[in-house]
Amino acid sequence: MRSTRTICTRRGFLGLAAVAAAAPALAACGGGSSSSGGDGTIKFWDMPWGVPAYNDAAKKVVQAYAPASGNLKASYQTIQWSNFYQTFASAIASKTGPAVSTGGGFQAFQFEQQGQIAYADGVIDALKKNGRYGDFLPGVLEPFKSDKGYVAVPWGIDMRVLWYRKSLFDKAGVDVPTDWPSLLTAGKALREIGVSGFGTGSGSGNYAANHLVLAMMINNGGGVFSPEGQLDLMNDRNVEAIEFMLELVSNGVIDPAAVSYTVDDMLGQWKKEKAAYGLYFAELPGRAGVKADDTLVASPLTGPHGDKAVLMFLNNIMMYKNTPSQASSDAFLVYYLDQLKLLWQQKLVSLLPVFKSITEMPEFTDDPGNVKIIKEYVPIGKTFAARSTALNADLAVLDGGQALTQFAQTVITGKTGAKSALRTFQSGLQSVLK
């Protein structure tokens, strides 16, 4: 049984566009105190990544830290997701922020632009020496390497996973989709029994449709950016993907009411057996309150050109230049990464781990869904940067921004053609990207 978590989990993205204009002022701010506790400790700020017991357990890990001689101890503080970016921005500007923190997935790249991030090369070197470097799953560390150094270190994978209700597929007498044509076929059959063949939502606070449209573009070898990192929404693969999405809409495979579904509404569709297939976090059964033996992980789809890729987000731990001791920050982060296994052993984290050794623990492998996701999804996971691999601050503006939300809503309501929708999306992004 997966642990449930708050709706905002990897949210480093939402709201960033709104405050991005104010962020440059951080570099010019001075004064304040250092990023150490009143007792001379390294301040570690952490987000609510699961049930309340998660933060209690993480705090105990920090309290148990016994640094080597010369390094500082660490203190722990939970930072709520509500207005979290403003909390970090204000604290960093006044030099009262953390020395080390978790946070939004692209947060480190935004603060790097302000000159506030301490690169993690020392941590990576230490991981190479203690053997943990080779424990990273393939592809999870590279996106954080910039030409100046490692901007952050990944610790958890937030994968977008395809789920299906076995009983509903049996009732409709259709196989689980393996590619786009079979998705359309299955969706039509499910529609005949009054069920959505591709459940999603785009109501207040629900970004499922945002992720769905981008996931389909990525699954077709497309993406928002070119391999060189330039905005490139009008490429043929994107057009083809959105045309297929519009075909799903026109055939009733996507519920016309989905545009107004909040997260609770969308999960209710799964619980009421009104959704049979869809894209969600890696813990849908626990979140929706449905039977785990009937709500199963589907294999990734194969695109029309043979592409097979899925959308993922890489949650990370970042360090800040405003620290009482960079050596102490490095040493603490090396320790904390080594202790992450304790959180998964207690099943307090619904994210996927970045370390192979944790994926092999019995507490993780006793869930067959976990095993399938690690085996089939992680190797083909791509971030919002696709078709590039490097992460950057522009991705914070993309995710959760109005341009993406409006694009997703336009697509799942079938209001316009693919090229028109993409053109409007590109124009919207160009107006906010630097």
The token pair that represents 371 in the structure block: 């095993």
Cis peptide before 387 (omega within 30 of 0): yes
- Which of 47-51, 124-128, 252-256, 303-307 has the lowest average pLDDT? 47-51
Distance CA 410, CA 421 (A): 7
pLDDT band at 319, cuts 50/70/90? very high
pLDDT per position as a tens digit, 250-301: 999 999 999 999 999 999 999 999 999 999 999 899 999 999 999 999 999 9
Q: What is the mean pLDDT of residues 400-425?
A: 95
Distance CA 111, CA 92 (A): 9
pLDDT higher than 90, residue 363: yes
Distance CA 2, CA 406 (A): 32
pLDDT band at 54, cuts 50/70/90? very high
pLDDT band at 51, cuts 50/70/90? confident
Residue 10's Cβ-side half-sphere holds a number of Cα atoms within 13 Å equal to 25
> Is the full-model pTM beyond 0.85?
yes
Distance CA 198, CA 105 (A): 27
**Second-level CATH architecture of 16-158+313-381:** 3-Layer(aba) Sandwich (3.40)
Distance CA 144, CA 389 (A): 9
Distance CA 98, CA 361 (A): 31
SS3 sequence, the chain?
CCCCCCCCCCCCCCCHHHHHCCHHHHHHCCCCCCCECCCCCEEEEECCCCCHHHHHHHHHHHHCCCCCCCCCCEEEEECCCCCHHHHHHHHHHCCCCCCEECCCCCHHHHHHHCCCEECCHHHHHHHHHHCCHHHECCCCCHHHECCCCECCEEEEEEECEEEEEHHHHHHHCCCCCCEHHHHHHHHHHHHCCCCECCECCCCCCCCHHHHHHHHHHHHCCCCCECCCCCECCCCHHHHHHHHHHHHHHHCCCCCHHHHHCCHHHHHHHHHCCCECEEEECCCHHHHHCCCCCCEEECCCCECCCCCCCEEEEEEEEEEECCCCCHHHHHHHHHHHHHHCHHHHHCCCCCCEECEHHHHCCHHHHCCHHHHHHHHHHHHHEECCCCCCCCCCCHHHHHCCCHHHHHHHHHHHHCCCCHHHHHHHHHHHHHCCCC
pLDDT higher than 60, residue 3: no
Distance CA 242, CA 419 (A): 8
Domain 161-280+401-430: homologous superfamily in CATH: Periplasmic binding protein-like II (3.40.190.10)
Q: Where are the domains of the chain?
A: 16-158+313-381, 161-280+401-430
Fold match, 16-158+313-381 / 161-280+401-430? yes
Distance CA 78, CA 46 (A): 5
pLDDT of residue 434: 66
pLDDT per position as a tens digit, 142-197: 999 999 999 999 999 999 999 999 999 999 999 999 999 999 999 999 999 999 99
